[in-house]
A and B are shown apart, each in its own frame.
Chain A
Amino acid sequence: MAVPILKQGPYLIASVQSALTDAELLELRNALVLMVGKYRSRGVIVDVTAMDVMDSFASRTLRDIAHMIRLRGAETVIVGIQPEVAFTMVQLGLTLEGVATALDLEEGLTFLDRGVKKLGGHVGASG
């Protein structure tokens, strides 16, 4: 597994450590969808601080992860999108609509602790 997934209390924390291939992104998606059931997790944090590129495939896979995890009954929050990455994503039209994001791991944990049920009103619209 290219991305270590840590169980912390009711949450799973996946920390992307380096650039990921498409296959590794899909592997992360599949692992999280399984583990959220295995550990009966309430929330998932995907930390993308180390990702220097978020192209259409990575963006779509993260969105898929968030939607699949929600269907499994838990919440996902993507944390650590870097300023340059955000800049490029918007230019590409990748907005991760319907997906919760937070500045960093700490904010992500706070978000999940609040138990916010952010129902993405525009699920599947784009990005």
Chain B
Amino acid sequence: MKEETRVSIQSDHDIVTARQRGRTLAQQLGFSNSNLTVIATAISELARNILLYAKKGELTLGIIENNGRQGLSVVARDQGPGIPDINRAMDVGYSTSGSLGLGLPGVRRLMDEFEIVSRVGKGTTVTTAKWKP
């Protein structure tokens, strides 16, 4: 990763900060307007997930490259309770928080790359990326 920005997530203000930083970085990379919104929305969902389930955590935004193609990576990391059943967490409509349950499956749909690693009692890391077309 060439460049990294870290945003600490501890309050709902941090959600707004994180998605604005992500939008700015994506804009610098030359993403289209609709992709800027897609990226900002995915960041919003990831940051809210941290707040909702782990109370606090961190979002890392970075510029990535693969075979001359540029992209933006968004990694959400927390030391929260972890997700006991990831498959269920990825089901649309499944939620333990009373939300719509669209968070993680939504992010997977919005981003090109999506990987989730979670250990109960240790925390969760969601690694995502969007490539420039």
Q: Which residues of A contact B (CB under 8 A)?
A: 19-23, 52-57, 59-60, 82-85, 87-88, 91-94, 126-127
The smallest beta-carbon distance between A49 and chain B, in angstroms, is 14
A92 touching B40, Cβ below 8 Å:
no
Q: Which residues of A contact B103 (CB under 8 A)?
A: 56
Contacts of A55 in B (CB 8 A): 41, 44-45, 48
Contact B110 A92 (CB under 8 A): yes
B20 CB–A CB distance under 8 Å? yes
- Do A87 and B37 touch across chains, with their CB atoms under 8 A apart? yes
Question: Can you report 16 A-B residue pairs in the complex whose CB atoms are below 8 A from each other?
Answer: A21-B15, A21-B16, A22-B15, A52-B40, A53-B44, A57-B44, A57-B99, A84-B34, A84-B37, A87-B37, A87-B38, A88-B34, A91-B109, A92-B106, A92-B110, A94-B102
Q: Which residue of B lies closest to A26 (CB)?
A: B12
Cβ proximity bits B42-77 to A, threshold 8 Å, 1 near / 0 not: 001100100000000000000000000000000000
**Given A53-B19, A91-B109, are A85 and B102 also a contact pair (CB < 8 Å)?**
no
Contact, CB under 8 Å: B38 / A91:
yes
Sorted from nearest, which 5 A-B pairs have the closest CB atoms?
A84-B37, A22-B12, A55-B44, A92-B106, A21-B12
Given A56-B106, A92-B45, A92-B106, output 18 extra A-B contacts at Cβ < 8 Å.
A21-B12, A21-B13, A23-B12, A55-B41, A56-B45, A56-B99, A57-B44, A59-B100, A83-B34, A84-B33, A84-B34, A87-B34, A88-B38, A88-B41, A92-B102, A92-B109, A93-B92, A93-B102
Minimal Cβ-Cβ distance residue in B for A82: B37
Residues of A within 8 A of B130 (CB): none
* Set of chain A residues within 8 Å of B16, measured between Cβ atoms: 19-21
Q: Which of B20, B33, B37, B40 gathers most chain A CB within 10 Å?
A: B37
Which residue from chain A places its CB closest to the CB of B14 in the assembled complex?
A21
Chain A's closest residue to B20 (CB) is A19
Whole-angstrom distance between the Cβ of A61 and the nearest chain B Cβ: 11
B43, closest chain A residue (CB): A53
Q: Of all chain B residues, which has the CB nearest A25?
A: B12
Q: In the bound complex, what is the Cα–Cα distance between A73 and B21 (angstroms)?
A: 41
Q: Which of B20, B34, B102 contacts A56 (CB 8 A)?
A: B102
Return chain B residues, CB-CB under 8 Å to A87: 34, 37-38
